[in-house]
Amino acid sequence: MNADLAQLQSHRIFASLSPIEAETLATAGEVLYLQDGALLFDAGDRADGFYVVLGGILEVRVEGKTLASIGAGEVVGEMGLVTADRRSAAVVTVAEGSVWHLGGAGFEALLQSGDPMATGILLGIARDMSRRFREVVDEAAELVPRVTALPGGPALIERMNWGEM
């Protein structure tokens, strides 16, 4: 097995899978090698699966603004796999590397067949998304006292609490 697939199998998304399931899944996807400046996907594109970054650095961009940098071990595009929505951001390579890609059709086939690997992947994705959600909530909690101190801040916080935004 090549080094990319071995690295993939140790990823947290695959933690709930047996070694045989992880190997089967790893070979169900494909490793893509990306040059500096390569567009992985663009905002508005149909979601075609998800990617695990094996090496290099990717940037998530919306309207030309960089929202995040993603390095080895991180996942991108998983929300599109779960929701089948169009991509909400562009992802561009800023330091050449590689990603592992599992297409949505392949994942859908796993789900339809009742294959336990699909459940394992969804569980891994849910854990990863939960971790990131908690990080966002923690960051937002740190901002609340600063927003409250601004003119109109308390009213803004109240509107947010009631979901009016």
Task: Please name each of the domains of the chain with its CATH number.
Answer: 3-161 (2.60.120.10)
91 and 41 in contact (C-beta within 8 Å)? Answer: yes
Neighbouring-strand partners of residue 69: 59
Q: Do 6 and 23 meet the contact criterion of CB atoms below 8 Å apart?
A: no
Stretch 133-142: mean pLDDT = 78
Tell me the C-alpha distance between 139 and 6, whole Å. 34
Give the pair of three-digit tokens for residue 121. 């992947």
Q: How confident is the model at residue 1 (pLDDT cuts 50, 70, 90)?
A: very low
Lowest mean pLDDT among 17-21, 32-36, 53-57: 17-21
Checking if the pLDDT of 44 tops 80, the result is yes
- Single-letter amino acid code for the residue at 94: V
3 versus 150: the higher-pLDDT residue is: 150
> Does an H or E element contain 109, and which?
helix 104-113
Whole-number average pLDDT of the chain: 80
Q: Which pTM does this prediction carry?
A: 0.70
Paired tokens of 20 = 């045989």
Distances 91 to 21, 40, 162 between C-alpha atoms, Å: 29, 5, 33
